Structure 1
Amino acid sequence: MTEFFETYKLHIFYGASVIAVVIILHLITNILNKWLIKKEAQKFLGAPEKPIKILKRTLNILWIVLGLIAFSFIFVEKEKHETLVGYFQLISYLGGVAVITIVLATLLNLWFKHKIQEKTLLGYDPTSFKFLRYVVVFIVCFIGVLFGLMAFPSLRGVTQTALGGAGVIALIAGVASQEALSNLVGGLFIISFKPFKIGDVIKLSDTMVGTVTDITLRHTIIRNFENKMIVIPNAVINKEKLINYDLGELKCCEHIHMEISFDSDIDLAKKILAEECENHPLILDNRSEKDKIDAKPIIRTALTKINDSSLTIRAWAWARNYSDSFSLKCDVLESTKKRYDREGVELAFPTRTVYLNNDMEKKEKDEI
C-alpha cells in the first residue's frame, strides 16, 4: 500500500485537488445564487427567479464537466493531453459565453421591467418598452448563440459573416419561416403606428373582445371579459379591422333596442325607455350647450323599424366608456321590461297567420 501511494502520490493529490476545487466552486455558486435571489427580491418586487436558477444550473454543470475533463488527465496518456486541453478550452469558452449571455439578458430584462413599472406608475404608455424588451433579449440570446458557434471551425465562417452586420438579417431571413417574419413585422407595425396599446379594450369580432395585456415578437394577447387569454398572431391582427374603444374619446353611444307589438302605445314605450335610461347612474349627458338651451332631451328615442311582427324602438344612450355602456345597456333592458309589464306595453313575439285552402274539401262534398 505504501509503495502504491509513493508511486501514484502526485496523481492522488491532483485528483483530490480537482474534486476539492469542483466542490468549492459548487458551494460558492449556491451561496451566490441565494444572495442574488435575495438582492433581486429587494430591488425588483415580483422579479422571476427562473433566470438565476438557470444560471446556477449552468455553472454547476460547467464545473462538473470541467472537473471530469481535468480528472481524466490522470488516466490518459501524455500524447493525448493536447486533445484534452482542447476539450477543456472548448467547454470553458462555451460555458463562459452561456453565462455572459444569461447574465446580460437577465439584467436587460430586469431593467426593462423596472422602466415599464415606472411608466405605468406615472400614467405613460409602456407598450413600446414591453415590445423592445422582447426584441433586445432576443438579440442578446441570438448573438450569444452565434459566439458559441464560433468555437466550431466548420461554422466559424457563417457566424463571422452573420456578426458582420447585414449578415444577421440575411441569416434570420434564411432560417426563419415566412410566417415568423410576418409576425415580427406585424408587431413592429403595431408598435410604430399604435392602432392599439397595452391596456386598450378592442373588439375583433363578437367572440373576441377584451383588454390588450401584452404584445410580443410573435403574437398579441387579449384578456376577454371571461378572464380567458386570447392569443392572436401579429400578422393576423395587423390585417384585421378592429374597434378600439380607448382610441380617441372614451365616451360611447349605446343603441338600446326594444321590440314591441303592433297593438302597443308607441309614445308610451318611447317615454318609458327614455326615462329608464335617464334615471340610470351611468348615463352621460352628451348634449351641447345649444341643445340644453333648446331643451332637447338627454335621451333620443325613435321608431327605427317596422318588422313582420314587431316595432323596433331605439334609444341612443351615452356612457363614459365601453364598460359603463355595457352595464348601462344590461340594466336598462331589465328595468324597461319590468316597466312595460306594469304599464301594459306588450313586447313582441313572432306570430304567423295561416290560411287553409278548403277547395279540396268543397269538391269532395259536391261529388257526394
Structure 2
Amino acid sequence: MYAVTSTVAALALQIDAGAVVARLGGYATNVLGFVLGFVLTYLLGKLILLPLARRVLNRRGFDRTVQSLADSVLAALVVVLAISIGFMAAGFPRFLTAVATLGGAFALAIGFAAQDLIGNFVAGVFIIKDKPFEVGDWIEWNDNAGRVEDIDLRVSRVRTFDNERVTVPNGELANNAITNPVAYDTLRQKFVFGIGYDDDIDHATDCILEEAEAVDGILSDPAPSVRVTELGDSAVGLQSRFWIDEPDRGDFVRVRSEYVQAVKERFDEEGIDMPYVHRQLTGEVEVLESVAGDVAGSVDTQAATDGTGDGD
C-alpha cells in the first residue's frame, strides 16, 4: 500500500513539474515575443520613420520649432506602436484592445477639455509654417497694433507702441485678418489736405507735390500723386499718395509728420486757406420776461452778498 502511494505521489510531482515547466515555457515565449516585437518596431521607427519624417519636414521648409515638436510626437507614437506590437506578438490582443479603448476615452476627454489649447497649438504650427508675419514685424489685428517679439506654438507676444506687452493666443491671430504693413519693401501712405473753394486747385497740387519731393524718406519712384477726392461742406479734399522705402513704424510716423507739417507751412506761405468746419446761427433771439427777471434777481443777490463780505 505504501509503495502504491509513493508511486502515485511521484507521478503527481512529475506531472506538476511538467506543468510548471510548460507554463514557464509559455511565459518565456510571451516575454520573448513581446521583446522581439517591441525592439523590432522601435528600431524601425527610430532608424527609418523618424529620419524620413525629419527629411520631409526639412524639405517642406518647416521651422525648427515645428520640426522639434513633430519629432517629439513621432517618437512618442513609435513607443506606443512598439508596445502595441509587442503585446500582439506576446499573444495578448485582448489586453491591447482594453488599453486602446481606455486610451481613446482618455484622449477624447482631454480633447474636449483642452480644445482651445489644442487649437492654439495647431494655429501656431500654421503661423510658423506659412509665415504671415515674423519676429520684428509690425502687425495690426482687431484694432490692435504692435511689433512681434516672439512666436511660440501656443501664443505670440507683441509689444505695442505704448510699450506694453500683449500675449495673444495663436488661434486669435490665425482666425482674424492680419495687416502686415512691412511685409514688402515699400509702403504707400495717403493723406487728405483740405483747401478753400476759392483757392487754386492746381497751385495747391503743385505745392503738395513739391513738398513731397523735398521730404527725405518719400520715394520719387513711384512718384507722389495728388487727386481731388472730396467736396466737403467747407473744403475741397486733395488726397496725396506717396510711397515710403523700407517702411518701419518709426520711419512711417516721422516721414508722415514731416510731410504734413511742410505742406501746412507751405500753404501758409502761399496764402492757401485750410478751412475748418464752422457754424453760423442766424435769426432773432427772444428772452422771456420771467426768465430775465429771475436772472436779474440772482445777479442783484450775488452783488449784495459780495458787498456784505467786503464790509466784514
TM over 0.5: same fold?
yes
In the superposition, relative to structure 1, how do residues 167 and 327 fare at CA in structure 2: closer, same or farther (>3 Å)?
farther
Matched ranges for 1:257-268 at <5 A = 257-268=192-203
Work out which of the residue numbers 141, 144, 148 in structure 2 matches 1:212.
148
Deviations along 1:39-64, one digit per CA (max 9) or x if unpaired, are xxxxxxxxxxxxxxxxxxxxxxxxxx
**Structure 1 residues without counterparts, runs of 5 or longer:** 1-125, 144-156, 288-297, 359-368
Which one of the candidate residues 122, 126, 135 is aligned to 1:185?
Answer: 122
Q: Distance in 1 between matches of 2:113 and 2:216?
A: 54
Query: SS where residue 316 of structure 1 aligns?
Result: strand
Give the 3-state SS of the residue equivalent to 2:63 in structure 1. Answer: helix
Query: Could you tell me how far apart the structure 1 residues matched to 2:99 and 2:63 are?
Result: 30
With normalisation by structure 2, the TM-score equals: 0.56
In 2, Cα distance between equivalents of 1:186 and 1:325: 30
How many Å apart are 1:131 and its aligned residue? 5.8
Q: Distance in 1 between matches of 2:62 and 2:255?
A: 30
The one-character-per-residue Cα deviations of 1:114-171 (angstroms, maximum 9, x if unpaired) are xxxxxxxxxxxx99235666x48997xx99xxxxxxxxxxxxx9xx959xxx869927
Instruction: Work out which of the residue numbers 258, 263, 273 in structure 1 matches 2:208.
Output: 273
Report the CA distance between 1:330 and its aligned residue: 1.2
1:195 to 128, 132, 150: 132
Query: Pairwise CA RMSD of aligned residues?
Result: 3.8
Deviation at 1:255, TM superposition (A): 0.7
User: Where does 1:322-337 land on structure 2 (aligned, <5 Å)?
Assistant: 322-323=247-248, 324-337=251-264
Consecutive unaligned residues of structure 2, counting only runs of 5 or more, are 1-60, 78-94, 286-312
SS in 1 for 2:171: helix
- In the alignment, is the contact (CA less than 8 A) between 2:135 and 2:149 conserved in 1? yes
CA contact (8 A) 1:224 1:230 kept: yes
Give 3-state SS (helix, strand or coil) of 1:244's partner.
coil
The Cα shift of 1:231 comes to 1.6
Aligned counterpart for 2:243 among listed residues 286, 303, 318: 318
TM-score, normalised on structure 1? 0.48
Give how far 1:200 is off.
2.1
Distance 1:168 1:264, change over 3 A: farther
Structure 2 distance, partners of 1:281, 1:174, is 55
What is aligned with 2:176?
A: 240
Aligned to 1:303, the other structure's residue is in SS state: strand
2:226 aligns with one of 301, 315, 334: 301
What is the aligned partner in structure 2 of residue 283 from structure 1? 218
CA distance in structure 2 between the aligned counterparts of 1:245 and 1:168, rounded to whole angstroms: 46
CA contact (8 A) 1:253 1:325 kept: no
Q: Could you tell me how far apart the structure 2 residues matched to 1:237 and 1:356 are?
A: 57
Report the secondary structure of 1:227's partner residue.
Answer: coil
Q: Is the 8 A contact 1:212 1:223 kept in 2?
A: yes
Instruction: Render the CA deviation track for 1:66-91: whole Å, top value 9, x for unaligned.
Output: xxxxxxxxxxxxxxxxxxxxxxxxxx
CA 1:225–1:137: 2 relative to 1, 3 Å: farther
Q: What SS is found at the alignment partner of 1:281?
A: coil
Q: Deviations over 1:276-318 (max 9, x none)?
A: 110111111224xxxxxxxxxx321121111112211111111
Matched residues in 2 for 1:336 and 1:228: separation? 33
Find the aligned partners of 2:261 and 2:71 in 1 and give their Cα distance: 51
CA distance change for structure 1 residues 175 and 315 in 2, over 3 Å: closer, same or farther? closer
Equivalent-residue separation in structure 2 for 1:184 and 1:222 (angstroms): 18
| Cα distance in structure 2, aligned partners of 1:285 and 1:169 | 64
Match in the other structure for 2:268:
341
Q: Distance in 1 between matches of 2:65 and 2:231?
A: 51
SS of 2:175's equivalent?
coil
Partner of 2:35: none
Within 1, Cα distance between the matches of 2:149 and 2:112? 30
Distance 2:135 2:62 in 1: 6
Partners of 1:256 and 1:338 lie apart in 2 by 16
Aligned-partner Cα distance in 1 for 2:106–2:179: 34
Distance 1:169 1:286 in 2: 62
Identity score, percent? 27
Contact 2:138 2:180 (8 Å CA) reproduced: yes
Q: Is the contact between residue 142 and residue 176 of structure 2 (CA under 8 Å) also seen in structure 1? A: no
Which residue of the partner structure matches residue 10 of structure 2?
A: none
Q: Is the 8 A contact 1:131 1:216 kept in 2?
A: no
